[in-house]
Structure 1
Amino acid sequence: MVTLANDPASNVRDLPEPLAEGLSVRDLLAQPGLAGATVLAGRAGLDRIVRGANVMEVPDILPWVKADELLLTTGFPLTRAADTDAGSGARLLDLLPELDRIGLSALAIKLGRYLSAVPEPVLRLADQLGFPLLRLADDAAFDEVLSGMFGVLLRQQNEVLAQADALHQAISAIVLGGGGLPQIAREVSRLLDCVVLITTPDGRVLADEGHEPHRSAIRELDVFDASGRLRTERLRIGVHPVPGGVRAASGSAGMSAIVAGGVDHGRIVAYRLGAGLLPGSMQALERVAIVAALTITKELAVAAVEGKFRGDYLRDVLTGLLPADDQVVEHCRSLGWEINRPMVVVVAELDPAEVSQRAGGAVSGVQRSQHERFASAWQQVLRAHDKTAPVVAFSREVVALLPVRSADSAAAVDGVVAAVSGDRGGGRHSFCAGVSRLVSAPADIAAGYAQARKAVQVGRRVHGHGSVSHFDSLGVHRLLSLVPDAAELKSFAADVLADLAADSPDAADLRATLQTLLDTNLNVAETARLLHFHYNTLRYRIGKLERIVGPFTTDPHLRLDVALALQVVQMRGI
């Protein structure tokens, strides 16, 4: 299970990484330093990137070779006294696969005194590996090749730095002018000619800017789930190619984490169709991520103040301290909420975390950052469903007043819960939700809130984590939940069920038989069919059950006690 929304970002730092741009082998061949160089084999690898150079002077060069380098040699390290080209070729046959495995960009050989020709088997191997094998001009000097190549790389890096700095200044001007995430994303997409998405850590899109054809291309890729969440767990920090599919062409994506003060605020993702992102795009994204972090921090601070005022007001309405009259309805409208319509109250709570090892074995509750992300997910989903639906986050719960039609309340709730849950790929935590009866008038909101809270509490005890419980479906558990003393309920179940109350596989098996008998109104034939027992086997089991709990088949009062005791055992946390 991927938990991207709760894991620290892998590129948490204060400054962008050092530049890592380079030139392809194909482009490098066009530079003056390599004038006259030809490709002997491995043309399929000419798009490999070169970021450095090395000179081969000893036979055991492998420990010093690095990825993305151009390796220069005269062939002398491959020869020994009385060696022939065939002997040198044999050593090249052994060397080439290792160089390719390390990630070397290309091998450039100056033929002549030490190696007059590259044997045909070596050329065939280079073609198979897609490993560029180059021949330097006869008059080429290694110092000229190295200085020319590094000069080109330095000029490119200077251009990349200048571009990133210009983008940083443009974004800073937007922020200082009061712009937000959409304006930042729009400017980045314009300058980098790509689609830019700014998301929460688990991929909830906060800003989405860009033009055709890049926008259509990213929508055709399988990177969004049904709720519109960007599957950030399918991308990785840095720039990498994105393969196309049946309907989509391939492209390139870059992703950087938005981090401030050690807090992971989200991701900034750029996608460009075709040849890939422009040089320096990753460095630009990292700089933009710093500005975006400041913007998000500012927006969170403002939202926290506004949210507390709105939340405190709605809490008074939900708890009945403030009667929901016409004046309250109008004030809610001024806050952007519509409460005078049919709706249900939904209370959602994150399921408690497991025992924390870092807390010394103490049971840790829901972390604050998790609860804030959970509340943000509800607000974003409800905003897409209905912008005027109230959604507020309290200390341990999120409360939503979901507008519904009386005929589709369950379907509407299920749709919203599914959208908040997503496909679990973004690290959404398990949560329980309780749903009230239909609230047809504002005056019934307080009663609906009490019903939803009761539903979420009882639902977790009966069905466990991840349950969605409607108040009308609680049945007898509503009454059992009113008993404040859990020990009294446990004692009642133990007295009625005796050995059947034990926490063992045999007791659980017999309880299942007893429950099925009660569900079928003691119809032995139907129970045997449902449990796949022989009729006589079930008769034997009934006798065993009556020896344990008493004559429940003939005593209706005992049968009621047994049914209630089984419901108590079913409830968790008792």
Structure 2
Amino acid sequence: MENIANDGAGSGQDLPSADPVHSASTLARGLSVADALSLSSLSGTEVLAGASGLGRVIRRLNVMEVPDILPWVKPDEMLLTTGYPLRSAGDLAGLVRELDARGLAAVAIKLGRYVDTLPDEVLRTADSLGLPLLRLDEEVAFDDVLNQLLTDIVDRQAAILARAEEVHRVLVDVILAGGGLAAITGKLPELLDGSVMVTTPDGRVLARSGMDADVLADARCFDPAGGRFQVENFKHGVRALDDADPRVVQVPVLAGSLDHGRVVLITRGRSAEPADVHLLERAAATAALVITRDLAVAAVEGKYQGDFLRDLLAGRAGEPGHAIRHCASLGWDIDRPLVVAVAELDGEAATQVPTAGDLRPAHERFAGAWSMVVRDRDPGAAVVGYSQEVVVLMGAGGEGEAGPGRLVRSVIAQVAGDGGGGRRSFATGISRVAAGPAELPRAYEQARQAARVGRRMNGPGSVAEFDELGVYRLLSQIPDTAELRSFTEETLGELARTGSPEHDDLRATLETLLDNNLNVAETARLLHFHYNTLRYRIGKLERMLGPFSTDPHLRLNLMVALRVVRMRDLRG
């Protein structure tokens, strides 16, 4: 047994201050059993068993006057008894287990008058469950205990309400002052005693405050590659409190049926509490108002910017000087070498009509991700989202820097992220460098063509540069796929049909041989064939296709036909 009443060890904090910021962690934790033992009305109280449960929170009090107390027991109660009902309670160890199952905070008993001691089995059961059994001093009056503990609980609850009201007032002031997400996250760390951030639904950080280097370096919280907060690693709302030591809590930012992101709290050296979740939910409601407001403004500005960019890419924006000045007023710098990138979400038919709450939010989030990543690298870039594509005009990079293709590919990797947090895959096309505004229409068409051909060649998630398309640029312009199929079958014969292992193997041999300019030795090395084996295969191919080793026109036809076969939508 352990007497902790007078030594100060394990005693709780003082009563919460009226200042909600100063006592944030105390209020979140509530009145624990250890805190209660430090009060004067419980002076001399002895912990008989269950000392490991002294952190249990007391939210209400009850007095045990009858043996069948169980129907009236509520969670987080401290039960006071003189011991009289225990004489006829029967299985006391079983009663302790039932009380623990109902979430009781502690049992305080006066021994000596009706019950001298508690059986060892009862004490062992309480120790195993972590349910504190307290021995009250004979001089303690129940009314003193009830009065002081209830006053303390009410004071704490009032302070929690004051803290919530303070958070509400601060957040309302932010909105009324026209502040954004940065203003919200700037205020919350001191109110919530932790680091706070607002992210997109997949974890792209929109605003943050109170983040130290250790938090940012935590691989469980942040993706080391792109800095994305890994929302998939943590539970939402009160479910996060189910963890043994919850340090990270996130709540969704919802406006109607639309999910705009997350508000995340990372605590400072303490476990998160229900009060933290409640305050985060208030912050999330405020963030939803700010985001909705910003989206409404952005929608108007975006339509204007989108219309002008359409005119610019169609060559209808007027003379170059006027276009440069107008773009500068929009924050775009087009008076420099530019590369155009076109990104299209995969998995949606081009003619499909957007459904409410489905395609439009997906494209808005997609355009937002591109804008966030590109503007971070190139503040003068233009990023505009349309119903079926996102168009990006960004600097092509200076001398000595990575080429425009590598530059855009690095942006694509960051937009996609580590699995993208559930982001859909997308195909991207990259143009040649446009030297000035007059060349942007042609660059835009190049990027669109590269995206289209890249998807047909490599499927979802493809990235294609216009300069890498080669003959596919010409093949993609032929609208009659039946004519292409007919040409392929006439040129390749049986080899035009895919799915047969023998034909696929011969076609691969032919393609490698032609790609190596009929160099038999090099082709044999690449295919791991014996030289004579490859000579035999070449003879078989010429009997099937004709004398391509001596006829350059036939070789050209075969090479084109093989490229057609590689185009995914013409296979089979």
- TM superposition score normalised by structure 2: 0.79
Task: Write the distance in 2 (CA, Å) between the matches of 1:142 and 1:201.
Answer: 52
Q: CA deviation at 1:543?
A: 5.2
Task: Write the distance in 2 (CA, Å) between the matches of 1:470 and 1:131.
Answer: 65
Change in Cα spacing, 1:444 to 1:47, as seen in structure 2 (3 Å) is same
* CA deviation vs aligned residue, 1:327-369 (integer Å, no higher than 9, x gap): 21111112111101122111111112499xxx9xx99998111
**Counterpart of 1:527?**
523
Change in Cα spacing, 1:523 to 1:60, as seen in structure 2 (3 Å) is farther
Equivalence map 1:94-109=2 (5 Å): 104=103, 108=107
Q: CA deviation at 1:167?
A: 1.6
Q: CA deviation at 1:535?
A: 4.9
Change in Cα spacing, 1:24 to 1:293, as seen in structure 2 (3 Å) is same
**Counterpart of 2:509?**
513
Task: Write the distance in 2 (CA, Å) between the matches of 1:488 and 1:76.
Answer: 96
Q: Is 1:156 matched up with 2:151?
A: no
What amino acid maps onto 1:158 in structure 2? A
Task: Write the distance in 1 (CA, Å) between the matches of 2:338 and 2:272.
Answer: 47
Q: CA deviation at 1:156?
A: 3.0
Q: CA deviation at 1:471?
A: 0.6
**Counterpart of 1:376?**
368
SS of the equivalent of 1:436 reads strand
Equivalence map 1:560-571=2 (5 Å): 560-571=556-567
**Counterpart of 1:461?**
456
Q: Is the 8 A contact 1:352 1:366 kept in 2?
A: no
Q: CA deviation at 1:201?
A: 1.3
**Counterpart of 1:196?**
196
Task: Write the distance in 2 (CA, Å) between the matches of 1:49 and 1:509.
Answer: 73
Task: Write the distance in 1 (CA, Å) between the matches of 2:380 and 2:164.
Answer: 40
SS of the equivalent of 2:300 reads helix
Change in Cα spacing, 1:106 to 1:363, as seen in structure 2 (3 Å) is closer
Equivalence map 1:100-179=2 (5 Å): 104=103, 108=107, 110=109, 116-119=117-120, 123=124, 131-137=130-136, 152-179=152-179
Task: Write the distance in 1 (CA, Å) between the matches of 2:42 and 2:489.
Answer: 88
Q: Is the 8 A contact 1:254 1:270 kept in 2?
A: yes
Q: Is 1:340 matched up with 2:338?
A: no
- Counterpart of 2:55 (choices 25, 41, 47) is 47
Q: What RMSD in Å do the two structures reach over aligned CA positions?
A: 4.1
Deviates more, 1:381-390 or 1:36-45: 36-45
* CA deviation vs aligned residue, 1:299-319 (integer Å, no higher than 9, x gap): 101111011111111111112
Task: Write the distance in 2 (CA, Å) between the matches of 1:53 and 1:511.
Answer: 84
Task: Write the distance in 2 (CA, Å) between the matches of 1:399 and 1:420.
Answer: 14
Change in Cα spacing, 1:316 to 1:529, as seen in structure 2 (3 Å) is same
* CA deviation vs aligned residue, 1:492-519 (integer Å, no higher than 9, x gap): 2233333333342524444333322322
Task: Write the distance in 1 (CA, Å) between the matches of 2:86 and 2:419.
Answer: 55
SS of the equivalent of 1:460 reads helix
* CA deviation vs aligned residue, 1:125-153 (integer Å, no higher than 9, x gap): 876x6824423327589998788766654
Task: Write the distance in 1 (CA, Å) between the matches of 2:102 and 2:556.
Answer: 74
SS of the equivalent of 2:568 reads coil
What amino acid maps onto 1:400 in structure 2? V
**Counterpart of 2:409?**
414
Task: Write the distance in 2 (CA, Å) between the matches of 1:162 and 1:365.
Answer: 38
* CA deviation vs aligned residue, 1:52-72 (integer Å, no higher than 9, x gap): 6799988997x9998767688
* CA deviation vs aligned residue, 1:241-295 (integer Å, no higher than 9, x gap): 899xxxxxx9833322111111111111122311245872221221121122111
Change in Cα spacing, 1:36 to 1:437, as seen in structure 2 (3 Å) is same
Q: CA deviation at 1:20?
A: 9.3
**Counterpart of 1:218?**
215
Change in Cα spacing, 1:190 to 1:550, as seen in structure 2 (3 Å) is same
Task: Write the distance in 1 (CA, Å) between the matches of 2:356 and 2:272.
Answer: 44
Task: Write the distance in 1 (CA, Å) between the matches of 2:283 and 2:213.
Answer: 24
**Counterpart of 2:237?**
238
Change in Cα spacing, 1:520 to 1:177, as seen in structure 2 (3 Å) is same
Task: Write the distance in 2 (CA, Å) between the matches of 1:204 and 1:309.
Answer: 26
Task: Write the distance in 2 (CA, Å) between the matches of 1:465 and 1:458.
Answer: 11
Q: Is the 8 A contact 2:199 2:207 kept in 1?
A: yes
**Counterpart of 1:387?**
379
**Counterpart of 2:15?**
none
Q: Is the 8 A contact 1:75 1:115 kept in 2?
A: no
- TM superposition score normalised by structure 1: 0.79
SS of the equivalent of 2:208 reads strand
Deviates more, 1:182-191 or 1:64-73: 64-73
Deviates more, 1:399-408 or 1:438-447: 399-408
Task: Write the distance in 1 (CA, Å) between the matches of 2:505 and 2:355.
Answer: 31
Equivalence map 1:387-536=2 (5 Å): 387-403=379-395, 404-405=397-398, 407-408=401-402, 409-504=404-499, 506=501, 507-535=503-531
What amino acid maps onto 2:380 in structure 1? T
What amino acid maps onto 2:47 in structure 1? V
Q: Is 1:314 matched up with 2:322?
A: no
Change in Cα spacing, 1:346 to 1:108, as seen in structure 2 (3 Å) is same
Unaligned runs of 5+ in 1: 1-18, 244-249
Equivalence map 1:47-86=2 (5 Å): 47-49=55-57
Unaligned runs of 5+ in 2: 1-26
What is the aligned residue count? 530
- Counterpart of 1:301 (choices 296, 304, 309) is 296
Q: CA deviation at 1:325?
A: 1.1
Q: CA deviation at 1:445?
A: 1.2
What amino acid maps onto 1:377 in structure 2? A
SS of the equivalent of 2:335 reads coil
Q: Select the structure with the greater relative contact order (CA < 8 A; seq sep ≥ 6).
A: 1
Change in Cα spacing, 1:504 to 1:29, as seen in structure 2 (3 Å) is farther
SS of the equivalent of 2:311 reads helix
Q: Which has the larger radius of gyration?
A: 2
Task: Write the distance in 1 (CA, Å) between the matches of 2:294 and 2:59.
Answer: 40
Task: Write the distance in 2 (CA, Å) between the matches of 1:416 and 1:41.
Answer: 61
* CA deviation vs aligned residue, 1:41-98 (integer Å, no higher than 9, x gap): 554443344566799988997x9998767688969889997x8xxxx76x69xx86x9
SS of the equivalent of 1:340 reads coil
Q: Is the 8 A contact 1:434 1:455 kept in 2?
A: yes
Change in Cα spacing, 1:482 to 1:136, as seen in structure 2 (3 Å) is same
SS of the equivalent of 1:530 reads helix
Q: Is the 8 A contact 1:37 1:134 kept in 2?
A: no
* CA deviation vs aligned residue, 1:206-229 (integer Å, no higher than 9, x gap): 22223xxx5344223222223332
Task: Write the distance in 2 (CA, Å) between the matches of 1:131 and 1:541.
Answer: 80
Task: Write the distance in 2 (CA, Å) between the matches of 1:517 and 1:45.
Answer: 77
Task: Write the distance in 2 (CA, Å) between the matches of 1:44 and 1:37.
Answer: 16
Deviates more, 1:49-58 or 1:222-231: 49-58
Deviates more, 1:268-277 or 1:536-545: 536-545
Q: Is the 8 A contact 1:434 1:469 kept in 2?
A: yes
Q: CA deviation at 1:477?
A: 0.5
Change in Cα spacing, 1:425 to 1:327, as seen in structure 2 (3 Å) is closer
Change in Cα spacing, 1:132 to 1:441, as seen in structure 2 (3 Å) is same
Q: Percent identity?
A: 48
